[in-house]
Structures are given as structure tokens and as C-alpha cells.
Structure 1
Amino acid sequence: MIGRLTGVIAEKTPPLVLIDVNGVGYEVDVPMSSFYNLPNLGERVTLLTHFIVREDAQILFGFLTTEERATFRQLIKISGVGPRTALSILSGLSVAELAQAVSLQEAGRLVKIPGIGKKTAERLLLELKGKLGAELSATPASVASDAQADVLQALIALGYSEKEAALALKALPKDVGVSDGIKLALKSLAR
């Protein structure tokens, strides 16, 4: 199995990347999260890969991080989720966002991804619960209390990113209540 490629980027056509490894060109499908972080044409890159052999094709999928590859492998184990769907999921959500959606059981975030319907989203939430790793499913930043965890979930539900919500939480007093915390966080985010 091909586990890693290091070479020069010869072509970039989303989601396909052609990597020249000592004169051999490997076509690698990458999620958009990795694609946007790739170096420019002609520059060296190292991709972790997952090689799939089927009766009619041999497909190489590439990832910039071990977390992405591990999540991809976890996704394709789920009934009804093939490699293309897994790639689509990782293109629509970062690994941390997917872990957050699973820990909060938010099917709505998954349904927004092209190719993911309500039933598939519910199956993903059920199958992935507890499997994405404790370090990924933990809430971002250190949440000191249940009230702060509720504020964080409320901000994410309102459409703020995890990063924005975590920054707003840091500005709050430690002993703040949920409703006051949400108000104060929204004020700080509005600036």
C-alpha cells in the first residue's frame, strides 16, 4: 500500500493533484481543506495517502494531516459512505468541525454538505459518536464550567465558528451565567 508521497506538484485541478515523484506522476484526490493549503506548482509537498483498489479503478487519496486521513478512514467504514462521500465531507467540514458536530449531534451541519441527506447525516452521527478521538471531540479551549459550555454551544448554533466562539469565551468572567454570557459574548463578537 502507498502510505505517503513526497514530490513536486505538477498540476492542481480541484480535487485532483498531480505529484511528480522522481519522474512518476501520481494522481491524488485531496479534500478541499488540504487543497487550499497545498504549496504552489513546482514546489515540494508531502501527502499522507490512502490507496483504494477496486475492480474497475485504483484511486489514491491524499491528506496533509494525520487527523484528516484517520477521519477519512473512519468515514469509509460507515455503511453507505464511500470514498467520494468521505472526501466531500472533509471538503465541507474540518476534522474539528466534524468532531464538534458529532459530539453535539448536529445533523443540520452535515446536511449542508452536498451529497449528504438527512438519513446519511443521522447514520454518520450515530456511527461516529465516540470514534473520532477524545482530543478531537473535546470542546475547543478549556471550558471552565457548564455555563461556559452552554454559551459556547449557543454561539456555534448561532453560526459563529469554533474559533470565534472560543475567543469570545476567553473574554467572559469565569462565574458568568448562561444568558448573561451569551449577551456579553455577542457584544464582543459584534465589535
Structure 2
Amino acid sequence: MIGRLQGQLIDKQPPWIVVDVQGVGYELEASMTTLVALPSVGEQVFLYTHLSIRDDAHLLYGFGRAHERALFRALIKVNGVGPKLALGILSGMDEDAFMRCVRDDDSKALTKLPGVGKKTADRLIIEMRDRFPEWENGQDGSLLLEASNGQSATRNSVADAEAALVSLGYKLTEASKMLADLDSSQSTEALIKAALTQRMKG
């Protein structure tokens, strides 16, 4: 089992990143919460990881905090919630916000997340309420990343942000609408974060 990685960030194409660890490039899928906190390509990163083994693929997921990974692992134990939906949930809100939704029975907020309907939201509230003790009291891991204010090097940040939102489960028309009124000069990561924030407030 691969529990964490520390190395050089060599590629960043949301929701995918590649981290070079002593000459081996590990491809990981990450939540937008983690992606927006990543430094520029070429910088050092430390990520907690979760390895999912399927018949047709070995998939590695990366997280900036131990609590985020713990919540991901709790979410995929819920009936009907797979890794893709779990990443969509973590991309739309952080651990504290999710906890508040569960404690307050706020299914309406959860239904704003991609792929989460009323039945799924209700199931998440019921099942996750019992799962919180599994990870809530664990020691949190800081996001050990060098701060970076640089812009993304992608040639079309809007198109990349749109593709990333679609990968999270939003429809193409919905993703386009979420990005329509945002400043297109922003980096891909900034656009994704702004679109998700606007979506949750709407």
C-alpha cells in the first residue's frame, strides 16, 4: 500500500497530477481542494495517498491533508458512493463544511454537489453521522506545500477548468455556465475554486 508521496510536481492537468519520486512518476487524481493548494510545477509536494486496486487498473488518489483522505475513505464505504463521487464531494466542500451539513441535516447543500441527488444526500447524512468517529479525532496532517502565487502554464485555463468540472460529474453546459462570468485570466485552479464556491453559494 502506498500511504504518502513526497517529491517534485512535474505535471498538473486537473484533476490529474504527476509527482516524481526519485525518478518514478506517480500519476494521481486529486480533489480540487488539494489541487488549488498545489504549488507550481517543479516545486516539492507532500501528499497523503489512497490506492484503489481494480481488475483493470491501479488508481492512486492524492490528498493535501490526512483528514481529507480519511473522509474520502469513509465516503467510499457509503453505499452508492465511489471514488469519483467522493472526489466530487471533497472538491465542492472541505471536511468541516461537510461535517456541518451532516450535523445540521443539511441535505439541500449536499445536493448542490455533482452527482448528489436528494436520496444520496439523505443516505450520506444517515451513514456518515455514524462514521465520523473513525476519522474526526485523528491527527490532521498539514498540507506541506510551498506557497505559490504563479499562474498556471496551461494554454487555455477556461477549457481546462471546464474539463475538470465535467470530470467531477457536472454536465458540460452546467460547467460552462459556472465559468461564464469568471475572470478568464485566472489560472485553471483559481477558476475551478471560484466556480465551485459560486455554485455552493447559489
TM over 0.5: yes
User: Please, which runs of 5 or more residues in structure 2 have no aligned partner?
Assistant: 138-202
- Asked if the contact 2:71–2:135 (Cα under 8 Å) also holds between the matched residues in 1, the reply is no
The reply on whether 1:55 has 2:52 as its aligned counterpart is no
| % same residue | 45
Rg larger for: 1
| Corresponding residue number in structure 2 for 1:189 | none
Amino acid aligned to 2:124: L
| Corresponding residue number in structure 1 for 2:198 | none
- Asked if the contact 1:9–1:40 (Cα under 8 Å) also holds between the matched residues in 2, the reply is yes
The reply on whether 1:119 has 2:119 as its aligned counterpart is yes
- In structure 2, the CA distance between the partners of 1:46 and 1:135, relative to structure 1 (3 Å rule), is closer
Question: Superposed, which structure 2 residues align to 1:3-152 within 5 Å?
Answer: 3-133=3-133
Residue 133 of structure 1 and its aligned partner are, at CA, apart by: 3.9
User: Please, which runs of 5 or more residues in structure 1 have no aligned partner?
Assistant: 138-191
Work out the CA distance in 2 between the residues paired with 1:136 and 1:74: 11
1:84-104 alpha-carbon deviations (Å, 9 max, x no partner):
100000000110000000000
Q: TM-score normalized by structure 2? A: 0.65
- Asked if the contact 2:48–2:66 (Cα under 8 Å) also holds between the matched residues in 1, the reply is yes
Q: TM-score normalized by structure 1? A: 0.69
- In structure 2, the CA distance between the partners of 1:122 and 1:95, relative to structure 1 (3 Å rule), is same
Work out the CA distance in 1 between the residues paired with 2:131 and 2:81: 16
- Asked if the contact 1:8–1:20 (Cα under 8 Å) also holds between the matched residues in 2, the reply is yes
Work out the CA distance in 2 between the residues paired with 1:14 and 1:135: 27
| Corresponding residue number in structure 2 for 1:184 | none
| C-alpha RMSD of matched pairs (Å) | 1.6
Residue 57 of structure 1 and its aligned partner are, at CA, apart by: 1.0
- In structure 2, the CA distance between the partners of 1:61 and 1:108, relative to structure 1 (3 Å rule), is same
